[in-house]
Amino acid sequence: MRRPAAAPGPIRAGWRSHDRAAYLLYLLPGLLLFVGVILVPFVMNVGTSLTEWSGVGTPRWVGLDNYKTLFSDGEFWASFRHNVALIIAMAIIPTAIGLVLAAALTDFIGKNFGGRTASVLRACVYLPQLLPIAIAGIVWSWILAPENGAVNELLAAVGLDSLAHDWLGDPKTAMAAVMVVMVWIQIGFPLVIFMSGLQRVDPSLYEAAEIDGASWWRRFRHITIPQIRPEIFVCLLWCTIASLKAFAPIYVLTKGGPGGATNVPSYFSYQNFFEKTDAGYGSAIATVLTLIIVALTVVFLRVQSKDLEER
């Protein structure tokens, strides 16, 4: 990634077009597998979304009916609202906290207490990122358990028994509990990206600002954030896509419950595929999810390139 993408260089003798065609052979296995594993299944998924099908027997063509049902399905819209909560917990909050942390570790801790202290602290925050999400979910669902769960015991230990709660089992707190877990999992990712981004910021910028008497907050706002804008964009896009694909944490923590309070589109499609055996409807949800991810990627990249042009 350190090198620019393949640019059309000067064509030399020996790299003529008939010669290039011979390289197609090397692309063949990858292309064939791509068609078999990605392209055909994706087209099949779109096709299935236009039918009513239980997974066995012949699918019945219903046109856009599944999509019509989808748009009037309260459960579907609720799952999208929950996904917005996940975007907040997995993209917005970690990016915001990651920015402050990265600046504090680089600017404050690294300078005053040495780079080693900063990298140890960074490693601690990054550790949850390495866990398989399913395992992280197991850890937390047990910490948040109603009986003997660590959180409730901690509350009891400081005399707040009355606040003890079935965190994941109560529709009122389930989504908030899931959000806390996702922030814990996600926060290390932006931190690491931003800290490496900050390394390319010219230290004399900070020194000049410091000599001018600029407060930490002002340096943060006027130097740190503008300088690592590209990283902020990439991070927000990547985390938002990740939150739209979040299946494992919901499966392990709540299974979409209680009463659908934490259901998200990815889990909702899984339910339709494998629990309700309504493959047509599941495919429609998955197709809409794909469209949203593609649209979001395009919009983000547009905004990003526009931002780059303006600078």
Partner 1 sequence: MSATAAQSPIKPRVRTRRRRDPSSHMVLVALIVLAAVMLLPFVIVVFNALKTPQEYGANGALAPPEGFYLQGLKDFWERVDFGRKLLNSIIISGSVAVLAVILSVLNAYALGIGRIKGRLWILVLLLMANTLPQEALVYPLYYLSKQLGIYDTRLSVIIVFAVIQSAFGTYLLSSVLGAFPRPLLEAARMDGASKWQVLWRIIVPVTRPTLSVLLVFFFIWTWNEFLIPLVFLISNDNQTVSVALGVLHGQRLMDATMSSASALLGILPTLIFFLIFQRTLTRGLTAGSIK
In the region spanning residues 158 to 187, those forming contacts with partner 1, defined by CB under 8 A, are 184, 187
Residue 163 · residue 248 · CB < 8 Å: no
In the region spanning residues 66 to 105, those forming contacts with partner 1, defined by CB under 8 A, are 101, 104-105
Q: What one-character-per-residue DSSP string does 58-77 give?
A: --EE-TTHHHHHHHT-HHHH
Q: Which two tokens stand for residue 8?
A: 């059309």
Q: What one-character-per-residue DSSP string does 23-52 give?
A: HHHHHHHHHHHHIIIIIHHHHHHHHHTTEE
61 binds partner 1 (CB under 8 A): no
R_g of the chain computed on alpha carbons? 24
How far apart (Å, rounded) are the C-alpha atoms in residues 155 and 39? 52
Interface segment toward partner 1; rule CB under 8 A; list 81-89, 119-127, 159-167, 225-233: 119-127
Residue 134 beta carbon to partner 1: minimum distance, rounded to whole angstroms: 4
Sign of CA dihedral 241, 123, 184, 105: negative
Which amino acid, 163?
Answer: L
Task: State which of residues 153, 170, 220, 227 lies at the interface with partner 1 (CB under 8 A).
Answer: 153
In the region spanning residues 236 to 255, those forming contacts with partner 1, defined by CB under 8 A, are 241, 244-245, 247-248, 251-252, 255
114/171 with CB nearer partner 1? 114
Interface segment toward partner 1; rule CB under 8 A; list 40-48, 62-70, 76-84, 299-307: 40-48
Residue 205 beta carbon to partner 1: minimum distance, rounded to whole angstroms: 13
Of 109, 127, 99, nearest to 188 by C-alpha is 127
Residue 105 · residue 165 · CB < 8 Å: no
In the region spanning residues 8 to 37, those forming contacts with partner 1, defined by CB under 8 A, are 8-9, 12, 14-15, 17, 20-27, 29-31, 33-34, 37
Residue 249 beta carbon to partner 1: minimum distance, rounded to whole angstroms: 9
SS3 of 256-277: the string is CCCCCCCCCHHHHHHHHHHCCC
How far apart (Å, rounded) are the C-alpha atoms in residues 283 and 287? 6
Residue 140 · residue 147 · CB < 8 Å: no
Interface segment toward partner 1; rule CB under 8 A; list 67-75, 130-138, 166-174, 223-231: 130-138
In the region spanning residues 182 to 221, those forming contacts with partner 1, defined by CB under 8 A, are 184, 187, 207, 210-213
Q: For partner 1, how many residues bind (rule: CB under 8 A)? A: 103
21/310 with CB nearer partner 1? 21
CA-to-CA separations, 57 to 60, 279, 282, 296, in angstroms, rounded? 9, 12, 17, 36
Residue 310 beta carbon to partner 1: minimum distance, rounded to whole angstroms: 25
228/244 with CB nearer partner 1? 244
In the region spanning residues 257 to 286, those forming contacts with partner 1, defined by CB under 8 A, are 265-266, 269-270, 273-274, 279, 282-283, 285-286
